[in-house]
Structure formats: C-alpha cells, structure tokens
Amino acid sequence: MTAVPTEVISPGRSILSRIADLRAWLFLALLLVFFEVWAQTRYGVTFVGNTYNLQSISIFATAPLLLAVGQTFVIISAGIDLSVGFTMGLAAVVSAHVANLGVSLLGLHPFLAMLLGLLSGVAVAFVPGLVNGWLIAQLRVPPFIGTLGMYGIARGAAFLIAGGMTVPVSNSWFAWIGNGRVAGIPILVIITAVVVLGMHYLLSETRFGQHTYAFGASRAAALRSGINVKRLTMRIYLLAAVCAGLAGALYSGRFAAGAAQAGEPLLLSSIAAVVIGGASLFGGSGTIAGTVAGALVIAVIEYGLVFINVEPFWQFIAVGFVIIISVLVDQSQRRLLGGQRDE
C-alpha cells in the first residue's frame, strides 16, 4: 500500500478527518444534550443525571455491543456476518437447557451448572463460526451468501432444540449473572466492558488485528505480504460467532430463559453500530471504540424515545436515518482524503 504524502493532506483536511472519525461520539453527545434538554423543559427531571437511566442504557447496549465487536472484525475484513443473531439465539437455548440439566440430571451445584451453561453457549457457537469461516475461506463463498445460509441453519436448529418455545432457567446463579451488581455496576456491563477492552487490544495491538486491517484493505496485497488469509478469515468468523455465543448465554441469565429468536432483532443493530462507529463497508477501516460509540448511539435513541413517550416504531426510522447519514459522511471523508476506490 502506498502511503499518502504528508504534503497532500492540508491542515484543514486533517481537522475535518478527525472530526469525521469522532462523528459517533459527537452525535452521542448531541443526543444526550437533546434528551436532557427535553427532560428538563418538558418533565422537570434530568435524563443524563439519572443513574437509573444511565444503567438502563448501558444494560440495553450490552447484547448488541457484544455482537458488534465481533462484527467489527468481520466488516474491517470487508465481510459481513448475517448469522450472528441466530447464533446468539442458539447459544441462549443451549445455555438454558444445559444449566437446567446440570442440576436436574447431573446433580451439580447451581453455580457449577451456571458455569457449564455459559461455557456450553459459547462452545456451541464454534460450530456456525467454523462453518462460516470454512465456506468463505476455503470454498470462496461470498460472505453474504455463506452467512445467510448459516442464518437459516442456526435459526432452525435453535427452534428445534427449544421445541418452538422459550426455555425457562430456574437457576439463581444464572439470574445473578444476568441481573446482579458489583459495587452498584451491573455484572452484564462489567463482562461486556472486559470483552470490549480485550477486543480493542486484539484489534489495535496485535498482529492479528494488523492482518485484519491489511486483508480488508487489499486481499491481493495481504497475500503478497505473506499473510495466511484463509486461516485469518476462519479466525475472524470464529471470533464473531464466539462473541454472539457469549451474548446468547448472558441473555439467558438476564431474562431467566433461553429464546431462539433472542438475537434476531439485534443483527441489524450490530451492523449499524459498526457503521455508525466509522467502519467502512468496503473494509480496511474501523475501531472498537467507534463501535462502542455506535452501540451507545442506538441504545440512547431507543431508550430516549421511550423516555419521551414516542411510539417505539419511530426507533427504526431514527436509527435508519443515522445509518444513512453515517455512510454519507464516510463517503464524503473518503473523497476528501482521496481514498475512495473505483470499483
């Protein structure tokens, strides 16, 4: 890849580029100001200063964020994973079943049964992740088609295992993982924060992350530089599936039940969070920090509209507008810096 000469990038362009890179955080700040002003003037209460509101937003963002951090690697590699929603549902159902059987069939202590349920949810996610990676890396199936097929397979498997119903979990430790707090901070938020920090380190500080960027920018260049793109692709899709599996296992704890459709409405939210956060659907760019901002933007929009008594259907319209604006900003930024590609 040829570096852009420093003299080509004027100070004005550099400033505009930085503003564009921080667009998700700037938009998040504007949203918080908007809802705070509305709450103060309309209801005489605070929105941002209310601890309950902030905790609710953070909990609301955990599941889509877990899906989105895995999806970030996929999108940076110029791919897409449409199966993560029902991979999450499959993991939720398996976690609930295993946690129940651990107590009733194996006679395990509820804590051990909870751990077994969580591990089973993450482990079952390896299957769709490996299949996706194999199809895309070895057979060169387009990511959209390969993961769309796995979307249907995971969906059917989840509903078959669940018997078409939700699977209730009667395990107090599972409920504690999903709804407990440590020092006033929800455990779900703590777990998600640890995963996000780990993913940030993996993407920004390791060779795996560097190879992901290089592969997304140019597959041919990555091959010429000696990167094993097949192995890298399999690892990327496996990573996305594992994140979805963890999200599904934690879902069972939060709602004390596993549901096959748990992640269905979160698929588009996970993709939207990555795009809003500044990642390019052409590959080669994106950050975990941006994805966090994107997920928080979506959570604030959805929670804030409910807070001000707006019909929930407007959430989809609002998020859709934000996605379109983010893509337009990304395209403008690429043109400004001369980084657009002629396809």
Domain parsing of the chain, residue ranges? 20-331
CA angle (151, 271, 73) in 5-degree steps: 90
Question: CA–CA separation, 14 vs 4, rounded Å?
Answer: 12
Angle between helices 110-124 and 84-104 (to 10 degrees): 150
pLDDT for position 342: 40
Question: CA–CA separation, 188 vs 181, rounded Å?
Answer: 8
**Domain 20-331, CATH class in plain words:** mainly alpha
Q: Return per-residue pLDDT of the chain as tens, 343 residues.
A: 434 344 344 444 456 556 656 778 888 999 999 999 998 888 888 888 888 889 999 999 999 999 999 999 999 999 999 999 999 999 999 999 999 999 888 888 989 999 999 999 999 999 999 999 999 999 999 999 999 999 999 999 999 999 889 999 888 888 888 888 998 899 999 999 999 999 999 999 999 999 999 999 888 888 998 899 999 999 999 999 999 999 999 999 999 899 999 988 899 889 999 999 888 888 888 899 999 999 999 999 988 888 888 877 787 788 788 878 877 777 776 666 554 444 4
The closest alpha carbon to 155, from 268, 269, 259, 270, belongs to 259
pLDDT for position 15: 60
The closest alpha carbon to 207, from 182, 188, 180, 235, belongs to 235
Q: What's the predicted TM-score (pTM) here?
A: 0.89
Q: Which residues contact 303 (CB under 8 A, 6 or more apart)?
A: 53, 56, 57, 60
The closest alpha carbon to 287, from 170, 209, 194, belongs to 209
Q: Which residues contact 160 (CB under 8 A, 6 or more apart)?
A: none
| Distance (Å) of CA 235 to CA 137, 214, 231 | 10, 15, 6
The SS3 call for residue 49 is coil
